[in-house]
Amino acid sequence: MTQQHAARRRLERGALLALFAGACAIGVVPVLVRMSPTGPVMTAFWRLALAWPVLYVLHRAQPAAPTLKLEGLSGPRDVPAWMLVLPGLFFAGDLSFWHWSLKLTSVANATLLANCAPVFVTMIAWRYLGERFRVLFLGGLFIALLGVTVLMRHSLDLSRDAFLGDLFGLITAGFYAGYQLSIKRLRARYSTVTVMLWSSMSGTPALLLIAILMRERLFWSAPLVQGWLVLLAMALIGHVSGQGAIAYALAHLPASFSSVALLVQPVIAAGVAWLVLREAVGAEQFLGGAIVLFGIVLARRGSAALAGPP
């Protein structure tokens, strides 16, 4: 094994750990959304609004950090600087539709449909990013999605009353796919913190505008301190730590596999809901979680190795 190959293997292992750590952090978010003191979209707004000042400090602490003026940023021709605003806009759409989906349908429906994102990511990454994979990868993708279905089957609510919430869940998947793919492209040129900062700054005003149009209140009356703690936890755990770790990993792993690996999120969410909200977890949920993990392992074996810039 050459020294360069060994270094690449170490980089990929670190990216895998970061990816799963980020997925675990994001797995806490559905429970925090349920505990939020404000509306669905305003919850998403505060999630980003409280995150970007922290990201700004981290950005300024970077060695040779680029200026925060857009005209001062430059990149290769195929990754223009204006693309830095795209992840935030995709994320605004993702969070808005998903948070409303959580309110209009069951957590199981919203989670299952939102996790169809790997299907969109795989097709686009194959067609436009040149990613290649074996049939084994597609089998792993199918098995992982099957595992999510088994995991959520006990509380799925396929009814006309939940149709709008279910539709919002599927739209969420499309936006989340756009978010992952845009992060993937930008990480070819920009650091994790830079990408996260710009996505937060562009997503914050977009979410505020959507929340105002939806007539949601910016603040709440009580419980004041508990509400701020919930939103701050969502910003630091779900966004700065969770999405930040995923953004780092996307530079070093194929987007298609990364998206499949993120299907571990509903497994984590089910465990957190059991611990915090006392939601029932039985043998069926354990089986579903095991199937998801098995599918991710197969997808990894069928995915092409890829290492990106540090």
Model confidence, pTM: 0.84
DSSP single-letter state for residue 304: P
Placement of tokens 């890829």 in the chain: 306
Contact 191, 270 (CB under 8 A): no
pLDDT of residue 110: 76
User: Which of 106, 222, 123, 206 has the alpha carbon at shortest distance from 166?
Assistant: 106
Q: State the 10-residue block means of pLDDT for the chain, 310 residues long.
A: 72 90 86 84 91 92 56 51 90 85 75 85 87 88 89 66 82 93 90 93 93 86 84 94 94 90 83 71 79 91 56
10 Å Cβ neighbour count for 251?
24
3-state secondary structure (DSSP) of residue 303: strand
Amino acid letter, 145: L
The residue ranges of every structural domain in the chain are 18-301
CA distances, 162 to each of 108, 125, 196, 287 (Å): 12, 31, 33, 26
167: CB partners within 8 A, 6+ apart: none
Query: CA dihedral defined by 264, 52, 48, 310, rounded to 10 degrees?
Result: -30
The span from the CA of 203 to the CA of 243, in Å, is 14
